[in-house]
Amino acid sequence: MNAIQIKNVSKQYKDVMALDDVSFSFEYGKIYGFLGRNGAGKSTLINIIANRIFADSGEILIDNDLAKENMNVHEKIFCMSEVDLYDTSLKIKDHFKWIEKFYNSFNKEKAFEIAEKFNLDTNKRFKALSKGYQSIFKLTVALAIDVPYVIFDEPVLGLDANHRELFYNLLLKDYEESENTIIIATHLIEEVANIIEEVVLIDKGKVLLQSNVDSLLEMGYSVSGPASEVDAYCIDKNVIGDDELGNLKIAYIIGKKTQLSKESHLSFANMNLQKLFVKLTEKGGN
């Protein structure tokens, strides 16, 4: 099976059960949104997959091989991480040289090209970069590595809107060309809603749901129009959130659409993935 298979993985930190008997798979060739609240266990799982920390129990298989301390597997996967594992006093261009020595699949020329697109000054030392540009350096490395499984952990932290758009475009272009597996852990859910095909949502160390994005969005819908009409429509519905703009309102509803009268000024649209996420994980923070 071409996939990252997570089998009964548990990990405890002192009194916190970070991962509690977690089992699911990231299948080869898809783009995943790996979602969850702060502290839900996302980064812990990513670090276990990346062999940076070890699970208390359970195992990870990559294309049916055990991932733990296995060099064959190491060549198939790359995890961009929030954690700074880089020598902060080294210049970016020198980082690229070192990464080329360690990763056969790293394309240094491509890295310099991507850096140029982001206006990343490769003569600067890592520690001289702003938070946004530290993220850009890390996602540049991840985009320049051609392996079957690439995991991005909060890739756009601190990036401005233009750079976020550039990143999503580069990612989709790579995906169309390579068909590698891309896994994006992010809190900016609405921004990736149009990019990802599958969602894995973890909450308090457990998988809360795994679903195709389209099926997930079919759980509900949004209705918009004059605020008073929207309110009247919503009276007997399961409303999970709303937004207002002047006297217009949009409400997000779980359930099936009902027929509108001919005189109605309301219109239906798709569910908002971020609103759905917020509702599903309410009181799930810590």
- The binding site for a copy of itself (CB under 8 A) comprises 36-39, 82, 118-119, 121, 130-133, 154, 157-165, 187-190, 194, 243-245, 267, 270, 274, 277-278, 281-282, 284-286
Contacts of residue 235, defined as CB under 8 A and 6 or more positions apart, other chains included, come to: none
254-260 long-range contacts, CB within 8 A, separation 24+: 254/219, 254/220, 254/279, 255/220, 257/221
Q: 20 vs 121, which CB is nearer to a copy of itself?
A: 121
Contact predicate 267/230, CB 8 Å: no
- Of the pair 8, 267, the CB lying nearest a copy of itself is at 267
Q: Smaller CB distance to a copy of itself: residue 105 or 270?
A: 270
CB of 73 to a copy of itself, least distance (A): 28
Q: Which is nearer to a copy of itself, 64 or 130 (CB)?
A: 130
CB of residue 55 to a copy of itself, shortest distance in Å: 20
Least Å distance, CB 7 to a copy of itself, is 27
Whole-number minimum distance, CB 160 to a copy of itself, in Å? 5
- Indicate the DSSP class of residue 55: -
Question: Is there a contact between 285 and 39 (Cβ–Cβ < 8 Å)?
Answer: yes
Residue 224: left if φ>0, alpha if ψ -120 to 50, beta else—which one? Answer: beta
